[in-house]
Each structure stands twice: as structure tokens, then as C-alpha cells.
Structure 1
Amino acid sequence: MRPHLPAAAVLVLGSLVLSGCGSGSGDDGASPAATGTSGAAGQETVAQGASGDPAGNGSGDSAGAPEADTSTADSLSVVVNKQNPLQPQDYVPSPLTQVEGHQLREDAAGALTEMLSDMRAEGVTVNVTSAYRSYDTQVSTYDHWVQQNGQEAADRVSARPGYSEHQTGLAVDLADGTGCDLQECFADTPAAQWAAENAADYGFVLRFPEGGEEITGYSYEPWHLRYLGVDQAREFQESEATTLEEYYGTGPTPDYP
């Protein structure tokens, strides 16, 4: 698990985030992770969670996960990870919609807007620190973490360019400004706890759960939500799977090839 970032690192991180948003495109800078791969845009892979061993490794029970296109970049069910780079690697989702200075795919943006409104109506402090990131922005993001921590450590918290889930336009990083933004202690904040309880009702799930590193390839990220659509998100929550790899039966991807 990644320790809290030193103050200097937070300052550098903030500058990268600002540079990512400053273009006016909503393209975000450096949230530590954003795993991701989507599959070849013209090549569809249909996966179905196996009831009893969804990941093929005895790791759980996917309670009737439906058939889904887990490979095509435009699919809401795309599973992005270290074994499946986006094709093309400079994939850009369309249309993209602005949400509080960031961008998401249109359906995800509408769901996030509603969720944030409901959170704030209940007195929860929350904001968005990262959403869609382009290939070029991910180059800068990943290089930042490599320079700061070395490549091996960087690979546990940040996706290599072309492998970022943020590039799909379906991932969002939440924050609340309490000092735990982009850190594991964010799990203890009201924003994270509210999201854990309710996000599925808006179509979002926690993408990188605690204890899932050997399956997803990334450290625990209580701030990183992935949009699946309401039906899939609720089914995921009701299943025994904790990762998309388990739920869709695509198998663990702890490392790059």
C-alpha cells in the first residue's frame, strides 16, 4: 500500500493536475492511478462471469454476470488493465461532457452530476480531482510517478500510456480537500463512505479495492470510481466479485506482459 505523499510530491501533483485542466479541454493531469485498457475498437471480446470461479483462479463467485463486451473501447463494460492496452492507444471517447472542470463520457457525466448533487444535499463535501485523461496527458502523469518513485513503484499506482482507464472517459477520482486526497486514508472520509454505500445506484463502482492488487495490478484506490451503468453496477455490488476482472471473468492481470 502506498504511504501518504510528502508535501513536495503533493505540490508537484497539483501542478500536473492544473496543467492537465488548464488547456480548457477538461483533460486531467496526475491522479496516481488510472488503470486502463480497453480492447481493440473493432475487435469485440464477449466475457461472461463464471458462477463459482469468475476470475478463473478460485477467487470468488460472479452471481450471474451477463455477457458483456469487455474489449471494445466504447463499451461501458470494457475491462482495462495491464494485459489489454487501448486500441488505438490514442483512443478518444466521444462525445465528452464537462463536469465541474473535467470531462467524462456523456452518460457517465450525467450520472456523476446527479450523484454529486445528492451527496452535497446530504452535507457531504466532495469534488472531482480527475476524470478523462488523454494519451498525451497520461504520458506526463506516468513519467511524473516514475521520476518520483522509480518504474516498479510507479506501475503499482499509475498506468502506462495507452493502458489508462481514465482514457475511456468512464473513470472519475473523488476528493474532499481534507488532506487525504489520492491517498488510502480517503477511505475514512464521509465522501468515500457515502460513495461505497450509494455509488452503484448512479452506475459507479469502486475499481481498485483493498486487497485486489494481485488481480487488478494496482494499489487500493478508495477515490477511483468506474462507470458501468446502473444495472451493471447494481449487479456487480450484489455479486461476490470485488473487481471487474472477477465479475466479467477476464482473469487477474497483476503485471504487464
Structure 2
Amino acid sequence: MDLKELKLKVALIAVSVMLLAACTNNEKNAELKNIPFGNKQNEPKITDVAEDDKDKETESKDESADTDENKTEEAESDDETEEEVNDRMPNEENVYDQSSILAIVNRGETLDPTYVPRDLVTIEVPYVNDIPMVNQLRKEASDALTKLFDDASKNGYTLYAVSGYRSYDYQAELYDNYVLSHGEEVARMFSAPAGASEHQTGLAMDVSSEEVVYQLVDTFGNTDDGVWVNDNAHRFGFIIRYPYGKDHITGYMYEPWHLRYVGTDLSYELYESGLTYEEYLWEQGIDVKN
């Protein structure tokens, strides 16, 4: 590693503790801070969404009893909604539709400044942020995130949501602040300009864990929680949008914390192929910019 790369690495580590920090000095609008969680006031906000273990056991038994019936219903549903199934895989129309769960968003394919998802809901998983806006996702993505977190918990892993939906204006302030503080070359490695952020779609959520003090750092990918997320997120329709070694394709450094919802049809395809979303679309003959 040469001196320039070393300096960049140090800078990225330093700013990782403030990724989602306030764009202004107003503490009311501050994002997650690198602070000790040693007292109740500063502990992560944990939503009361977990079901009673007894209820879960009952629900599990009921689901097991209905397995054959559910399979039959799913088969019938698949026959009836073949067109809808096809729409869950990328095509020229839905890839460029900013309201689609398959919309491609990067520096080359941007969102309209006025775009706001119509079906945003408050997430129902443990979170660490006091900003109501970033504790939202689109309904389908939020439901999938709840299932992902529940499954992680059942397997002994504890995840926390850090930042979901961000408006165009909020992202603009965030990015401009990073540029002023660290210069555009460094800022571009870990933050997106307004319109180029997947967070504006309401389909992206940054996650973390206690082991990395609820921060957004690449070492999260080496924790037990991070490894589980990498290996299982696709089962719930999420992908690690900015995987290791693909920064020359995605334009962003490795972000094991950044989950993007695309639905299970595509998430399995991407997970098994090892391709980024851009690479996958190029292989499908869809000429998206990056």
C-alpha cells in the first residue's frame, strides 16, 4: 500500500464514525454519533416489535400445518401472475423507472430531485437513530427487513438499522458537508451526490451491530453479524450493493453495511453470480451508466 492509499484509508476510517452525521450544527437534526452507549439515554432505540416466544412457536406450528396448502396456493398464484413474476426481473422499462424496486441508481443513473416514494413506512426493527425520516423504508422493503432481522435473531445475531430513506435535499446537505470537510476525492468514495443515492429510493438500509459500536465501518463485514448478513441477505430480497473489490464498477468503496432491496428473484441471481447490479444489467444487454 503506497502513501496515498494509506492516507485515504486513514481518512475513510476517520469519517466512517460520522457517516450519517449532521449536516448542520443543530443537534436535533444530528445523525448517529460515535458516542459511548453506557447509559439509558444514549442506548440504541429499540422498537417494541419482537413477538412473544410462545406466540412464535404457535405461529411456527400453524405455518408448518399449512405447508401443503400454502404450496398449492403459491403454485396457483404463480400461474395467475406470470406477467408480474416477469416484472420482478430487470428489463428496459423497470430498470429506468425510479418507482420500481428494480430501479438502478448510481452516479450515472440518477433520481429526480422531486422523487419521494409514496409507500414509505416506519421500520419495525431495532434502530439507533433519532431522525424519523431515516427510520423509513418502502413497505415491501420494510417487511422484508423485519423478516431478515427476525431470522438473524433466531440464529443468534443482533442487527441494528442505522439509516434508510433520505430525501434529495437531505442527501445534498450530507454530501456537501463531506466535501467541505474532506475534499471531493475522498467524499466521493463513501458518499453519493444528491440524486445518486439509493437511500432516496426508500429501498436501501444501512445496518450495523454492537461489536462495531453501531458504526458504518468495513470491519462490520468481518464480524459474525456481518458475515451472516453477507451470506443470508439475499434470502430476503437484499443485496450487498457495494461488494469488496468492485469499487471500480460501483464507484463506491466496500460497504458491507449497505443493503439494497431488489426482491428475491433478482437477489438470488446476483448472489449466485457474484456480479454487481451494473454488471448483471450489462450482461442482460441493458446499457446503464455508472
Describe the shift of the 1:21–1:130 C-alpha distance in structure 2 as closer, same or farther (beyond 3 A). Answer: farther
Partner-residue secondary structure (3-state), 1:125: coil
Which runs of no fewer than 5 residues in structure 2 stay unpaired? 1-7, 34-88, 126-131
Q: Which of residues 176, 179, 191 in structure 1 aligns to 2:209?
A: 176
Q: Which residue matches 1:160? A: 193
Cα root mean square deviation, aligned: 2.9
Describe the shift of the 1:207–1:17 C-alpha distance in structure 2 as closer, same or farther (beyond 3 A). Answer: farther
Deviation at 1:147, TM superposition (A): 1.9
Which runs of no fewer than 5 residues in structure 1 stay unpaired? 32-64
Q: Which residue matches 1:54? A: none
Contact 1:204–1:226 (CA under 8 A) maintained in structure 2 = yes
Describe the shift of the 1:119–1:97 C-alpha distance in structure 2 as closer, same or farther (beyond 3 A). Answer: same
Deviation at 1:91, TM superposition (A): 0.8
- TM-score, normalization by structure 1: 0.74
Higher relative CO (Cα under 8 Å, sequence separation at least 6) belongs to: 1
Deviation at 1:236, TM superposition (A): 1.6
Deviation at 1:199, TM superposition (A): 0.7
1:107 aligns with 2:140: yes
Whole-Å separation in 2 of the counterparts to 1:73 and 1:132: 14
1:92 aligns with 2:116: yes
Q: Which residue matches 1:123? A: 156
Q: What per-residue deviation string (whole Å, max 9, x for no partner) do you get for residues 185-217 of structure 1?
A: 111012211111111110001100111111111
Deviation at 1:149, TM superposition (A): 1.1
Out of 182-191 and 221-230, give the one that drifted further: 182-191
Contact 1:216–1:253 (CA under 8 A) maintained in structure 2 = no
Higher helix share: 2
1:135 aligns with 2:168: yes
Whole-Å separation in 2 of the counterparts to 1:234 and 1:98: 26
1:234 aligns with 2:268: yes
Whole-Å separation in 2 of the counterparts to 1:153 and 1:195: 27
Q: Which of residues 188, 199, 218 in structure 1 aligns to 2:233?
A: 199
The amino acid across from 2:147 in the alignment is E
- TM-score, normalization by structure 2: 0.66
How many residues get paired?
Answer: 213
Q: Identity over aligned residues, as a percent? A: 37
Contact 2:188–2:252 (CA under 8 A) maintained in structure 1 = yes
